[in-house]
C-alpha cells in the first residue's frame, strides 16, 4: 500500500529531498497518521523544566507532513466517503458509499488505521488493517458502494475506534471514524 505510514516515515527520516524536518527529532516525539492522510509530528526531548538553552532543547513546535499522494495533482483520484457505519462488530460486513471525481477503473481498498498511543517516539498502537472487500458497485454517477468485512477477532484488532479509509490507486480518502465493538 503506497500510503502506509511506516513507508512515509522511512522517506521522511532518510530523505532530505522529500521532507527535511525543520528541527531535530530526538526522543519522546509523537508521529501519527491524521484523518486526512497527513503525518503529524510533535514534541521532542521533553524536560521537566522546559530547557531551551541547551544543546538539545525541549521542542514545542508541531509539523504535519503531506506525502506526495496528497498533492492537488492527485485529487482527481481521491475518493470521498459519503456514508459509513459508526459501529461494526467483528466479522460483520460493513458497507460504505463513496464518490469520486472520475469514473473508477479498478478496485478500492478499504483500510482501518488505529489511533495510536505514542511513547519514546514509537507509535505502539498504530496498525493498518487491509479489509477484504467486494465491489465497487456503481449506484449513481461517480457514486459507488463497497462492502468490506470487519476483522474477525480482537486478536487482529482490539476493540477501539479506527479511521476507515477508502483508497483508490494509492490515494486515500479522508477517513471516517468507526468503532470496532467488543464481543459480547
pLDDT digits (tens, 9 = 90+) for 12-54: 444 444 555 666 656 666 777 888 888 877 766 666 677 777 7
155 and 62 in contact (C-beta within 8 Å)?
Answer: no
Please tell me the predicted confidence (pLDDT) of residue 25. Answer: 59
Q: CA separation (Å) from 85 to 71, 89, 131, 179? A: 28, 11, 15, 9
Instruction: Compare 23 and 62 and report the one with higher pLDDT.
Output: 62
Please tell me the predicted confidence (pLDDT) of residue 64. Answer: 79
Which of these three, 25, 51, 70, is where a domain ends? 70
Q: Which of 172, 135, 132 is nearest to 150 (CA)?
A: 132
Please tell me the predicted confidence (pLDDT) of residue 106. Answer: 86
Burial class (CB within 10 angstroms; exposed 0-12, middle 13-18, buried 19+) of 119 = exposed
- Separation CA 49–CA 61 (nearest Å): 17
The domain tally of the chain equals: 2
Q: Is the pLDDT of residue 117 over 70?
A: no
Q: Is the pLDDT of residue 97 over 70?
A: yes
- Separation CA 147–CA 46 (nearest Å): 45
Q: Which of 136, 130, 85 is nearest to 106 (CA)?
A: 136
Task: Report, as an integer, the average pLDDT of 157-165.
Answer: 94
The reply to whether 80 and 51 lie within a common domain is no
Which of these three, 70, 89, 107, is where a domain ends? 70
Cis upstream peptide for 136 (omega within 30°): yes
Please tell me the predicted confidence (pLDDT) of residue 79. Answer: 95
CATH of the domain at 169: 2.60.40.10
The reply to whether 9 and 66 lie within a common domain is yes
121 pLDDT band (50/70/90 cuts)? low
Burial class (CB within 10 angstroms; exposed 0-12, middle 13-18, buried 19+) of 84 = buried
Which of these three, 70, 96, 112, is where a domain ends? 70
Instruction: Compare 2 and 157 and report the one with higher pLDDT.
Output: 157
Pairing of strands 122-123, 118-119: antiparallel
Domain containing 152 equals 72-180
Compute the mean pLDDT over every residue in the chain, rounded to the nearest whole number: 81
Q: Is the pLDDT of residue 150 over 90?
A: yes
| Helix and strand element counts for the chain (H, E) | 1, 15
The reply to whether 58 and 148 lie within a common domain is no
Q: What is the tens place of the pLDDT at every residue in 66-87?
A: 888 888 888 889 999 999 999 9
Please tell me the predicted confidence (pLDDT) of residue 21. Answer: 60
The reply to whether 76 and 156 lie within a common domain is yes
The reply to whether 93 and 127 lie within a common domain is yes
Amino acid at each position: 500500500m503506497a500510503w502506509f505510514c511506516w513507508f512515509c516515515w522511512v522517506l521522511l527520516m532518510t530523505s532530505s529531498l522529500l521532507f527535511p524536518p525543520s528541527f531535530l527529532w530526538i526522543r519522546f516525539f509523537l508521529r501519527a497518521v491524521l484523518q486526512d492522510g497527513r503525518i503529524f509530528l510533535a514534541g521532542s526531548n521533553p524536560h521537566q523544566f522546559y530547557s531551551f538553552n541547551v544543546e538539545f532543547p525541549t521542542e514545542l513546535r508541531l509539523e504535519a507532513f503531506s506525502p506526495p499522494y496528497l498533492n492537488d495533482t492527485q485529487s482527481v483520484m481521491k475518493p470521498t466517503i459519503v456514508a459509513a457505519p459508526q459501529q461494526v462488530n467483528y466479522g460483520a460486513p460493513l458497507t460504505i458509499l463513496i464518490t469520486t471525481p472520475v469514473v473508477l477503473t479498478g478496485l478500492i481498498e478499504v483500510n482501518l488505521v488505529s489511533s495510536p498511543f505514542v511513547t519514546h517516539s514509537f507509535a505502539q498502537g498504530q496498525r493498518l488493517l487491509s479489509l477484504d472487500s467486494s465491489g465497487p458497485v456503481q449506484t449513481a454517477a461517480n457514486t459507488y458502494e463497497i462492502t468490506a468485512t470487519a476483522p474477525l477477532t480482537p486478536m487482529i484488532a482490539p476493540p477501539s475506534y479506527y479511521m476507515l479509509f477508502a483508497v483508490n490507486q494509492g490515494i486515500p480518502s479522508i477517513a471516517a471514524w468507526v468503532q470496532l465493538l467488543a464481543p459480547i
